Amino acid sequence: MRPLPYSDPAHLAAHQFLVEEAALLDAADYAGWLDLLCEDIRYLMPVRVTTARGAGFDTLAGMGHFDEDMYALRKRVQRLATEHAWTEDPPSRTRHFVTNVRTFREDGGDLRVESALLLFRSRGDTREADLISAGRTDVLRATADGLKLARREIIVDESVLRTQNLAVFL
């Protein structure tokens, strides 16, 4: 299947959705971010592994860094809003760079959107900053409130993450 042309309004809307989402995350507006998600969202991040070319797989079966439903994502957001989420207090300075956006129209009318993500995360004043590079495949659904994220699969480009935890969203 070919991606929609860049001039297609559906592509432009999908691209804008991702950019607006990134702005919410970098502003730590997690409540606003939850509003972009469908109630039946699935938010996945498999563990990547180094395997021989031809092995036929490069993610672990049955284990991810994330495998979240709305309950789990709400809990994560609620936690960050408490006064006791030490790992993000003081907060990280993050920048979600979103690029290489390709939009595909699915049979049911949903949009499948592939993008590349580079997350820069800086904590404190003495630590080296972290970079997380990943590809994402999203399913965006048209709703009465505009496009919403129904599914996200994050394919991280490292088998061993170089960040102290995933107290951030990708």
Partner 1 sequence: MIKQVVSQVRQGMIPAHVYADPEIFALERDRLFARSWVFLAHESEIPDPGDYVVRRVLADSFIVIRDESGAVRVLFNMCLHRGMQVCRAEMGNASHFRCPYHAWTYRNDGRLAGLPFHEEAYGGEDGFARRGQSLLPAPSMGTCNGLIFISGDPGAPPLRDYLGDFAFYLDFYTRQSPAGVELRGPQRWRIRANWKIGAENFAGDSYHTPHTHASVVDIGLFREPKASKRKEGALYVAGPGAGTTYKLPPAGSGHSDFAGQMRYVGYPDAMITAMADTWSDRQRALVADSGFMVSAATLFPNLSLVHNWPQIDEAGTVVPFISLRQWQPVSERETEVLSWFAVDAAAPEEFKRTSYKAYLMCFGSSGMFEQDDVENWVSITDMAAGSMARRLNLNSRMGLTADGKPIKPPLAAFAGPGVAYQGFGEYGQRHWLGMWSDHLEDGAR
* Contact status: 7 vs partner 1 (CB under 8 A): no
* Contact status: 19 vs partner 1 (CB under 8 A): no
* Contact status: 40 vs partner 1 (CB under 8 A): no
Residues 78-97 touching partner 1, rule: CB under 8 A, are 78-79, 82, 84-87
* Contact status: 125 vs partner 1 (CB under 8 A): no
The nearest distance, CB 12 to partner 1, in angstroms, is 32
Kindly give the pairing relationship between strand 111-122 and strand 146-156. Answer: unpaired
CA distance 96 to 134: 11
Secondary structure class of 159 (helix, strand, coil) = coil
The nearest distance, CB 125 to partner 1, in angstroms, is 11
* Contact status: 127 vs partner 1 (CB under 8 A): yes
User: Taken in order 24, 163, 63, 135, is the CA torsion positive or negative?
Assistant: positive
Nearest CA to 58 out of 66, 67, 47 is that of 47
Residue 148 β-bridge partners: 141
Sole binder of partner 1 in the list 23, 49, 118, 155 (CB under 8 A):
49
Which one of the spans 33-41, 72-80, 99-107, 139-147 is the region binding partner 1 (CB under 8 A)? 72-80
CA distance 115 to 5: 15
* Contact status: 38 vs partner 1 (CB under 8 A): no
Which residue type sits at 59? Answer: T
The nearest distance, CB 40 to partner 1, in angstroms, is 14
Q: What does the buried/exposed string (b/e) look like for 2-18 if buried means 16 or more CB atoms within 10 Å of the residue's CB?
A: eebeeeeebbebbbebb
* Contact status: 76 vs partner 1 (CB under 8 A): yes
Q: Which is nearer to partner 1, 1 or 71 (CB)?
A: 71
Which residue type sits at 27? Answer: A
Q: Which residues bind partner 1 (CB under 8 A)?
A: 45, 47, 49-52, 55, 60-69, 71-72, 75-76, 78-79, 82, 84-87, 126-127, 159-167
